[in-house]
């Protein structure tokens, strides 16, 4: 369902921008494949914050051990989609 994943990508980008107060980027222009650690400069505490907000919103459990995999907005969105499909 490409439309569904696009919606999640947009929402993850919104949460990321809002929670981390990212400047010079909008949800629409946030490149979903950009590396969040290397290129955006987010760290583990930032990611944990975003994960907590997304957990609330989607009613899923994000496993702490899965953080290393969640390196782009697309990976996070696909992870959420998989959890919701279960």
Partner 1 sequence: MTGSMFDVYATENDGENKLKIQNENAWKFSEILEDPMVKDRWEKVRKYFFLRESTYDMTTRCNIRCEGCYYYEGEKQFTNDNRSPEAWQKLMQTEKERGITYVVLAGAEPSLVPELCEICYQKIPLGAIATNGLKKLSEQIGYRIHISVWGNDNTSRRIRGAENMLISQIDKYKDDPRAVFVYTFTRENIDEAEEVVRLLDQNGCRTTFNMFSAPTGYDGTLRHNEKSLLHVRHTMTALMKKYPVSIWYSHYNVVAHTHPLSLHDLYSCSYPRMNVSKSIGLGRSFRQYRSDLTWNRDVSCCVPDTDCSDCRHYAAGSAVVTARMFRHAANPDTFKAWLDYVDTYLTVWVMGYEKGENLCHEPVAPPDLKVLIKESQE
Q: Binder to partner 1 among 4, 6, 39, 52 (CB under 8 A)? A: 52
Does the protein bind partner 1 through residue 66 (CB under 8 A)?
no
Q: Which stretch binds partner 1 (CB under 8 A): 5-13, 26-34, 65-73, 76-84?
A: 65-73
Instruction: Compare residues 6 and 44 and give the one whose CB is closer to partner 1.
Output: 44
Rounded CA gap, 26 and 44, in Å?
22
Q: Write out the DSSP string of 7-57.
A: HHHHHHHHHHHHHHT--S--TTT--TTS-IIIII---HHHHHHHHHHHHHH
If binding is defined by CB under 8 A, does position 55 make contact with partner 1? yes
Give least dist CB 9 to partner 1, A.
Answer: 20
For 80, counting Cβ atoms within 10 Å of its Cβ (0-12 exposed, 13-18 middle, 19+ buried), the class is buried
Binding site for partner 1 (CB under 8 A): 37, 41, 43-49, 51-53, 55-56, 59, 61, 64, 67-68, 71
């Amino acid at each position: 369902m490409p439309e569904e994943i696009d919606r999640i990508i947009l929402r993850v980008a919104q949460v990321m921008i809002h929670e981390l107060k990212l400047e010079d980027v909008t949800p629409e222009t946030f490149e979903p494949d950009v590396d969040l650690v290397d290129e955006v400069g987010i760290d583990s505490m930032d990611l944990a914050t975003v994960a907590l907000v997304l957990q609330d919103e989607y009613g899923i459990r994000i496993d702490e051990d899965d953080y290393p995999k969640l390196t782009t907005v697309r990976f996070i969105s696909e992870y959420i989609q998989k959890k919701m499909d279960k």
